[in-house]
Amino acid sequence: MKPSLALLALASIGTAAPSLQSTQDGMSKRATWPNGPFVTSGRWIHDASGQNLTYAGTNWPGHADVMIPEGLQYQSIEAIVQRVKSLGMNTVRLTFAIQMVDEIYANGGEDITIENAFVQALGQSNGTRVLNQVLAKNPQFSASTTRLQVFDAVAEELNKQQLYIHLDNHISKGMWCCSSTDGNSWWGDTYFSTSNWVRGLSYMAEHGKAWPALMSLGLRNEPRDPTNNPSLSRSSYNWQAWYGFMRRGADAVHAAHPDLLIFLSGLNFDTYLTPVVQGTALTPGNGRFNRADFAGYGDDKLVLELHNYETGIGSCGTLQGNLDRNGFQALQPGGSGVANVFPVMMTEFGFQMDDRTWRGVYASCLAQYLPARKAGWTIWVLAGSYYVRSGIQDYDESWGLLNHDWSEWRSQGYVDGALKGMVRDTLS
């Protein structure tokens, strides 16, 4: 059975901050943060008071080999969340792997301990050493703490510091993501069981009911052509099949947790959703995107998410045009070619964190484009290092907002010169 979250839910009650909410008689009452559930209305996300709301945040990976949120051997959960909060951000995209849920089912409903998780991923000696570092920085845990209990503690702290949680199914098998040959690329690929995916989404949505800050869930990170599986690619890597899978996943999430916003990601590593926005045929069939196919929630719970990593682009105008064509035009009611209006969020973009890159065309263009359109975003990535990435332990993440030991910003120039302003302009 699942670990009990009752204590976590009770602990969060006293941490919410009040905000004003209008009433019919013109008086006002106090509404508590996070003032949900959220709904969509045209191109906007609305909070429970009917006010427009936009996400501005970062990605905190928890989907890799150990399958717990990264960085806890270097800093406490509280300290990491304080870092995010200091930027003025309001959201964390927290990633998970379906394998974690699969192992819970295989273990009679019980999650495995973080001791086992670290040893399995890093080996006996290194796993024990890193576990002990995690316990020193986070003494509320023990070797018998489970992976999901770590996620619960992260969720509790995010709620305490008033940061929304966008939970993201990043991958099926816990590992670094993403390539077209990693066995996780498309439904039916080596590690990508469709039934396990649906089950895992339902489980995490249900589990997340005890996370007051959980506002939304992304169905799948970066669907992509399974190039190492030609028969699968020929048979189902297309928009028609994508639509069927997205409907199944969305139905499972909504049935488990009806309050959540549900994020739909596109093809080719989630770089375009043009047929959805323009209402053209979902090839190779003739069907088209229809909100009525998402019964009971298609009108007010669906959000589009896109990624962009065109870091070498030479013109801001070219990048803006690409983004509009690939799906951000859904933010423009009445725009040419727009059949379906949605909130659209860039859940991943990123670049090398140094003294220069953030001044280039790509980074500076996005710093203008996203706030100007009031498009939500979460930058990749918060992590300054990973427990293990692609077989390399204690991997240094040069794109990380934080440095290797998660103690300082990797590029203070970017944080002060662009990122804080991007957050402010997005949320203003």
Q: What angle do CA 275, 201, 150 make, to 5 degrees?
A: 130
Angle, helices 98-106/194-207, rounded to nearest 10 degrees: 90
Per-residue pLDDT band at 38 (split at 50, 70, 90): very high
- What is the average pLDDT value for the chain, to the nearest integer? 94
Phi, psi of 54 (to 5 degrees): -130, 140
Q: Is residue 208 predicted with pLDDT exceeding 80?
A: yes
What's the average model confidence in pLDDT over 165-189? 98
Look at residue 17 in the predicted model and tell me its pLDDT. Answer: 43
Ranges of each domain in the chain: 52-427
Is the distance from CB of 164 to CB of 155 less than 8 angstroms? no
Name the band, by pLDDT with cuts 50, 70 and 90, for residue 22: very low
- CB neighbourhood size of 290 (10 A): 12
Q: Which of 9-18, 176-185, 317-326 has the lowest mean pLDDT?
A: 9-18
Class for the domain spanning 52-427:
alpha beta
Query: What is the rounded CA–CA span in Å between residue 93 and residue 167?
Result: 6
The DSSP string of 136-182 is: HH-TT--TT-BHHHHHHHHHHHHHHTT-EEEEEEEESSSS----TTS
Token duo for residue 205? 């949505």
Instruction: For residue 55, give the nearest of 17, 15, 93 by alpha carbon.
Output: 93
Residue 31's pLDDT band (cuts 50, 70, 90): confident
Q: Which residue has the higher pLDDT, 157 or 16?
A: 157
**pLDDT above 50 (res 172):** yes
Look at residue 30 in the predicted model and tell me its pLDDT.
Answer: 52
